[in-house]
Chain A
Amino acid sequence: MALNVGCAARPGKARKNKTGSWRVFRPVFESEQCTKCGMCALVCPEGCVIETEEGEFVPDYEYCKGCGICAEVCPKKGIRMEQEEK
């Protein structure tokens, strides 16, 4: 971050910081098993599980840190954690 006179920087937002690069395990959502209860979206600490217009829940991999809370909380066990290959 470049600093100007007086060390003042232009206001920014957290969304600039793509935390998806932190991920070691990637949650894979299997939509066949989904009952659309929405628990995964409710308990995601990043708020990065998004409901699509069709009512399906998908993770935003740009921000998902791969903590696995969604996989633990899913009542149908329809979320699989897979190791990232980079």
Chain B
Amino acid sequence: MAEHVAGCELFESGHRACGGCGPALAARLLLNATGENAIVVASTGCMEVFSTPYPETAWKVPWIHSLFENAAAVASGIEASLKRQGRSEKVLCVCGDGATFDIGVLCISGAFERGHDITYICYDNEAYMNTGIQRSGATPYDASTTTSPAGACSTGNQRPKKDMPAILAAHGAPYVATASISYPQDFMKKVEKALNTPGPCYIQVHAPCCTGWGFEAGETLNIGKLAIETGMWVNFEMENGEVTKVKKVKRKPVEEYLSRQKRFRHLFKPQRRDAEIAKIQAIADRNAEKYGIDIKKKE
């Protein structure tokens, strides 16, 4: 791990993220793991906006932003050029879930197919938060957003979350992992592993957004932990398409995760919607079965 020097943060204080921002913590941890020898390519998104309002920047590593959709293409070019020059900098993409799941898929697919030596970090806060909480391909089932509002005719987002890690693993990526900011050491280890793996690597880090999801700022890490403990988020590592490591838990009912967030409030008020909660529990159960996250009791 890169030596962490107190007072020498590579992601500096003074950025304009909300208090208790999950993605801001993800950026800090990320740079703790990469150290100075990195070049960051950002897509449009919350992180780009709060960390680099013109003419200021919170990043103390080379950083570039071009468009919403082309971070992976820009990174491909930088990587190819560095390779030609024989330089050792690591190229990282840092993009939100909107840029990764919806808008940037074409460029990501291209970069992974060409096999560039880049590390793609998607900070997943499960909607377009910067423009005011619109749903994305990463928004979970039944979450209420401004473009999938819950009300008399709807129970929120009607589509399940897209399985992006599987899509990129299918490209033949040597290393695909999911992480959570609630387990900072684990996330940093995964970033290091991705940087040291040749070829295109993908890490999707769960970064709860207190503003968009509707919980108290201090709860950010607790909510992330609950997502894992209920099976709504699975921390795993995939090497060459095979799942090699999974975080196992004693599973709690999904209600504990849902009831603490405003985006799922309509499932409990004005009246409880047991049928919808059961559907979400079924999603968690499927996750648990697929990855085998349950700690089995000894008989």
Contacts and interface: CB of A to CB of B under 8 A. Distances in A.
Interface of A: 1, 9-19, 22-23, 41-48, 50-51, 60, 62-63, 65-69, 71-73, 81
B12 A45 contact: no
Contacts of A41: 6
A67 B220 contact: yes
7 contacts: A10-B55, A11-B57, A12-B57, A14-B56, A19-B14, A43-B184, A45-B21
Interface string B48-64: 00010011111000000
Give the bracket for the number of chain B residues in contact with chain A. 35 or more
B270 interface: no
Given A16-B56, A45-B25, A66 B14 contact: no
Contacts of A65: 18-20, 217
Given A42-B184, A72-B222, A50 B7 contact: yes
A9 B14 contact: no
Main secondary structure of the interface of B (DSSP, over half): loop
B11 interface: yes
B17 interface: yes
Main secondary structure of the interface of A (DSSP, over half): loop
Contacts of B25: 43-45, 69
Shortest Cβ-Cβ A-B pairs, 6 listed: A68-B218, A67-B20, A65-B19, A67-B19, A14-B14, A14-B58
B19 A22 contact: yes
A62 B28 CA distance: 18
A23 to B, nearest CB: 8
B219 A72 contact: yes
